[in-house]
Structure 1
Amino acid sequence: MKEELAVRIILESPPPEVDFGIQKGSGNKYETILKQRSSENDLVFEFTILVKDGKTSSYNFTGPYVHGPVNERFIYVDIGTAAGQFNSPWTRRLKIPLRDISSETVKQILANSFLILETKVPGTAKDGGPNCATVKHFSGWHLVGR
């Protein structure tokens, strides 16, 4: 079984005038999709990832937007020059972990197309620039209505 799972990432209060986007692919063959320039508002990214039965009782997230080893999957948000904004002083990526999504949550969303898996992530780091590295201080993933 391989099915699509709808996800929404809300990047809260990122610093202004910086490009952000979702990384599709890896290595030298990646592209940044859903690119947005930050302003005064939160940025919202909606797309689908793939999920399939894992070798154990849990699910395995996969597809062109999912990175990392099986037990530590994540999504990259490309920032500044990494997102193609060549005049940006920032070259960063933000890792959003998928590891805490339960099998029960996956079953619920696959059974109901009106649900989406959502997370809210701080957009600004302590240095005032775009948040980067593995996201810290976020509430994880939650099911919400579309």
Structure 2
Amino acid sequence: MDQELPLRIILKNPPKGVDFGLQKGSGSHYETVQKQQFDSQDLEFNFTVRVKGNQGTDTQPTLLGPFVQGPPNARFVYLDIGTCAGQIASVWSRRLKIPLLGISWEMVNQLLKNDGQVLETQVPGTGKDNGPTCGTVKPFTGWQTK
């Protein structure tokens, strides 16, 4: 199977005045896309990943593409924050790691059968220090079909 799968990250109530963006690429060869700042609505990042694998032999689908980071058994997506997102004057220089764990063959099949559906996760935008959430999202509530 080699299919495109739509995903959406909702960043809930992040701090105002800070740039957030989806990281495309890895290492020092990346760009930040879909840059935005919180105004009065939660931030939304939409992208696709490529699903590869064989449902008969692979317990989980393998997710690939320019937004996907990490080894096959621990894939994730980064949101770049502040200077990491290209906001030069920001006091923040962070990234938020959003796991792709829990995306199952059942979810993939449901999305492929129902055009217009997306896998969505909602993550907090503000951390305990009242700055942008960073590091790996904890607790991570997972992905749901919407």
> TM-score over 0.5 for the alignment?
yes
2:33 is the counterpart of 1:33: yes
Partner SS state of residue 5, structure 2: strand
Summarize deviations over 1:62-88 as a string: whole Å, max 9, x none: 000000000100000000000000000
Moved more, 86-95 or 42-51: 42-51
Do 1:20 and 1:37's aligned partners in 2 also have CA atoms closer than 8 Å? yes
Do 1:11 and 1:123's aligned partners in 2 also have CA atoms closer than 8 Å? yes
Moved more, 9-18 or 35-44: 35-44
Summarize deviations over 1:42-62 as a string: whole Å, max 9, x none: 101111111111562320000
Runs of 4+ residues over 3 Å off in structure 1: none
Report matched runs for 1:32-51 at 5 Å. 32-51=32-51
Which position in structure 1 is the counterpart of 2:110? 108
Structure 2: gaps spanning 5 or more residues: none
CA shift for structure 1 position 9: 0.5
Do 2:96 and 2:137's aligned partners in 1 also have CA atoms closer than 8 Å? yes
Summarize deviations over 1:106-142 as a string: whole Å, max 9, x none: 1111222221000000000000000000001232100
Do 2:60 and 2:103's aligned partners in 1 also have CA atoms closer than 8 Å? no
**What TM-score does the superposition give when structure 1 sets the normalisation length?**
0.94
Do 1:24 and 1:65's aligned partners in 2 also have CA atoms closer than 8 Å? yes
- Number of residue pairs matched by the alignment: 144
Partner SS state of residue 84, structure 2: helix
1:120 is matched with which residue: 119, 122, 125? 122
Which position in structure 2 is the counterpart of 1:76? 78
* Identity fraction in percent: 56
Letter of the structure 2 residue corresponding to residue 2 of structure 1? D
Question: What is the root-mean-square deviation in Å for CA atoms of aligned residues?
Answer: 1.2
Partner SS state of residue 49, structure 1: strand
**What TM-score does the superposition give when structure 2 sets the normalisation length?**
0.94
CA shift for structure 1 position 5: 0.5
Partner SS state of residue 71, structure 1: helix
Summarize deviations over 1:87-120 as a string: whole Å, max 9, x none: 0000000000011112111111122222100000
Which position in structure 1 is the counterpart of 2:145? 143
2:99 is matched with which residue: 93, 97, 107? 97
